[in-house]
Amino acid sequence: MAFSVTASSSAAISGSNFSRSSSSSDLKVPQIGSFRLADRHATVNLSKKRCAVKPVNAEPKRNDSLLPQAASISAPEVSEKVEVEDFEQLAKELDNASPLEIMDKALEKFGNDIAIAFSGAEDVALIEYAKLTGRPFRVFSLDTGRLNPETYRFFDEVEKHYEIRIEYMFPDAVEVQALVRSKGLFSFYEDGHQECCRVRKVRPLRRALKGLRAWITGQRKDQSPGTRSEVPIVQVDPVFEGLEGGVGSLVKWNPVANVDGTDIWNFLRAMNVPVNSLHSQGFVSIGCEPCTRPVLPGQHEREGRWWWEDAKAKECGLHKGNLKQDGSAQLNGNGSGAAAHTDIFDSQSLVTLSRAGIENLARLENRKEPWIVVLYAPWCPYCQAMEESYVALAEKLAGSGVKVAKFRADGEHKEYAQKELQLGSFPTILFFPKHSAKAIKYGSEKRDVDSLMAFVSALR
């Protein structure tokens, strides 16, 4: 993972250390994940056997003119009181602030102990905002070893454009070797992506963050309605630990949390910022090559990630804190908690099928009319994304002799739907022909009304 330190007119910085301009001398900045002794002026009382050491994040403002003395012993003033920042209150105060203002506040507050997490997608906007503040900033990225060639070329372009060095964090070679030797190169298609992401992304990130007091991400509320709709501007990281260690030792900044994706792209174009060439090929959310594909009309942007899994799995673990424990029932489709979600596909042109209704429909060999049925869960963001097109389909087919219906297939009905109705992930669309008992599963990912209409017209 690479950190880059830049000033408003900085030169490129190479190697694992970064240098930062100072009024009196150059200060070497340690790489992410390294241990640093803070510089202090203090008097050590050798007559005492013990001394209390103040936490790293409580240190007084660093004097940049002094080099850290790695071989020296220093002790801070024990009697000094530490003020605890109320980041929840700060998030409220910054809720209407611009991304530039938020970025400036983050860099001002944490200096060398904060870094931008860069994925190689539209979060390049974070680097542009950091540059516009005129403050030094650092950038890191996770190289999983499975990224697209276009993403690697984009990293190089970003480094040259901003005159920075990104410090890349790599997965542990022994762990990757063990995973691939035991389960193969593409095991995530069979048993889920979490294990691979844990080895290639989560653990390297954990090592990186142990060298920081704060980090900056490109999370937006509109990216994933199921998991990111409540992302705050700033928060105490609920999952990872920072330099000091322990709960509450790391702060997480999300400067573009309240910004729509459209506005991000307008900003990138206005500032002539370089972008990943994959975006012009239909990719919106960009991750590893085997687990990322372009999105199609009617699909949510996160549906281009891990498309073979249910919506509950659309986080890789880097932002696991977004998955709230009290919302687990809604996310995994089990338990009565799912009932708290407002139902979708609400239209007089749609038939709502009960469990008995869908069972009867599936058993019939000669139906009076053909049916198209969506198997859905109201909490699923991908079901929500296709609601408009499916309702429009129902209105188009009204009076045509084709029945349009919905069946809620999560919770206690999920096992039945998987076994009897070909449910793989939400949403699943089935066509029940007039003179055939077997339902036909809609195989395309295109869920716009024209594509759905073409599917019906070809079969009825």
Mean pLDDT, consecutive 10-residue stretches, the chain (460 aa), reads 47 36 40 43 37 34 34 39 74 94 97 95 94 97 94 96 96 93 87 85 93 95 67 91 89 94 92 93 88 76 71 50 43 40 88 94 90 93 86 93 96 93 92 89 87 91
**What is the pLDDT at residue 384?**
84
Residues 6+ apart with CB under 8 A from 165: 2, 3, 4, 12, 13, 14, 15, 18, 159
CB within 8 Å of 191: residues ≥ 6 apart: 183
Q: Are residues 200 and 34 in contact, defined by beta-carbon separation less than 8 angstroms?
A: no
- The tokens describing 390, both together, are 């499916």
Q: What is the pLDDT of residue 56?
A: 33
* CA angle (134, 138, 139) in 5-degree steps: 120
pLDDT (0 to 100) of residue 122: 87
Reply yes or no on whether 291 is catalytic.
Answer: no
**Gap between the Cα atoms of 249 and 236, Å rounded:** 8
pLDDT value for 365: 82
Token readout for 35 is 């241990």
Q: What pTM did the predictor assign?
A: 0.56
Q: Which residues of 382-391 are buried (b: 16+ CB within 10 A; e: fewer)?
A: bbbbbbebbb
Q: How far apart are CA 97 and CA 459, in angstroms?
A: 53
pLDDT at site 415: 93
DSSP labels, 124-151:
HHHHHHHHHHTS-B-EEEE--S-B-HHH
pLDDT at residue 340, as a whole number: 57
3-state secondary structure of 248: coil
State the amino acid at position 302 in one-letter form.
Answer: R
* Per-residue pLDDT, 84: 63
| DSSP secondary structure code for residue 427 in this structure | S
51 in active site: no
The one-character DSSP state at 305 is: B
What's the pLDDT score for residue 49? 35
Give the pLDDT confidence score for residue 457 in this predicted structure.
Answer: 92
